[in-house]
């Protein structure tokens, strides 16, 4: 089992990264589901 705290820290880092990426590329991509896709990709990477 992965400790919950590790998951929380990891998700926080992802959220911050996605937030800054969204600001850099503009909110258009952010609203078009790019963030959702990135999160799904990261979850797939975690569980593979």
For the chain, domain boundaries: 4-25+36-47
Residue 26: what pLDDT?
59
* Verdict on whether the full-model pTM lies above 0.95: no
Q: Say if residue 34 is exposed, middle or buried (CB neighbours under 10 Å; 0-12, 13-18, 19+).
A: middle
Alpha-carbon dihedral sign for residues 23, 26, 31, 36: negative
Q: pLDDT for 3-38, tens place per residue?
A: 888 889 998 888 888 777 766 665 555 455 555 556
Confidence of residue 39 (pLDDT cuts 50, 70, 90): low
Cβ atoms within 10 Å of 19's Cβ, excluding its own: 12
Cβ atoms within 10 Å of 22's Cβ, excluding its own: 17
């Amino acid at each position: 089992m992965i400790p919950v705290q590790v998951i929380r820290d990891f998700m926080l880092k992802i959220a911050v990264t996605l937030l800054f990426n969204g600001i850099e590329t503009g909110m258009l991509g952010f609203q078009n589901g790019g963030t959702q896709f990135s999160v799904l990709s990261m979850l797939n990477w975690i569980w593979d």
